[in-house]
Amino acid sequence: MKLNIVPASTGLQWVKAGIQTFFRQPLALGGLFFMFMGAVSILAIVPVLGNLLALVLLPAATLGLMAAARQAADGVFPMPRVLGTAFAAGKQRMTSMLKLGVLYAASFVVMLAFTALADGGQFAGVYLGQTELTQDIASSPAFQAALWVALAFYVPLAAAFWHAPALVHWHGISPVKSLFFSTLACWKNKGALLLFGLGWVGMFVLGGILTSVVVSLAGGGALARGLVMPAVMLMASMFFSSLYFTFRDSFLLDQSEDAPKSAA
């Protein structure tokens, strides 16, 4: 495996590739993302433990969505079973993915613990479903301080786990080493990832504006307002479709049967 350093402009190409891939198989990729969110919602019904289990399974679920994007890019219709890709590659890969998930959940819990130092645990309580987010809580200086603490922790956490699921599954890297290589790849390609992030912020803003215009033209009725959440979900599914391309172009892998194709 060799790290591939790409120009900053590649970040916008990743955004474009994700959108184009989504529209090749919109029903499949949109449906898979809805299934993913549905599973998370079901787990969230169980206080605390459900959220922790969702965190453990998140790397595997992310890998499933990346595998779906890979199939769609290759002209294949992704079937629902692709979401279980991480658990269909043998016991060793499955165990490694679960270890990666435990590391992610543990890191997230540590982050929540540090936010509790800022606001006494309100942010953690809201995330774990134990506290209802009210206007008073959201506007309190302590809660906003906790948000900044969470952001400071989450940026390096996201970098460490950005490519890790794909490295574990497609290249057999151990969970701990995958975190190192993922962080290194994100740092070396920080310009491309910055433009990637800004590109998606712009897309979500544009999507929000277009949705608002549609709701306004429709008179703002309940049916029109009901379009907002599906629109957000579709934008999110496009974003997850683009994650595969950030991995594909950041590493030059051995030409094994299961390795993603290199960038064109």
Q: What is the pLDDT of residue 61?
A: 93
For residue 38, what are the CA distances in angstroms to 30, 45, 81? 12, 11, 15
Number of CB atoms found within 10 A of residue 149's CB: 19
Q: 122 with 200: CB under 8 angstroms? A: no
Q: Can you give the residue ranges of every domain in the chain?
A: 2-252
Statement: the pTM of the whole predicted model exceeds 0.75: yes
Closest residue by Cα to residue 123 from 192, 182, 111: 111
Taking only the tens of pLDDT, the chain with its 264 residues reads: 789 999 999 999 999 999 999 999 999 999 999 999 888 888 878 877 888 899 999 999 999 999 999 999 999 999 999 999 998 888 899 999 999 999 999 999 999 999 999 988 889 888 877 788 888 888 899 999 999 999 999 999 999 999 999 999 999 999 999 999 999 999 999 999 999 999 999 999 998 888 878 777 766 666 556 677 778 888 999 999 999 999 999 998 665 534 454 333
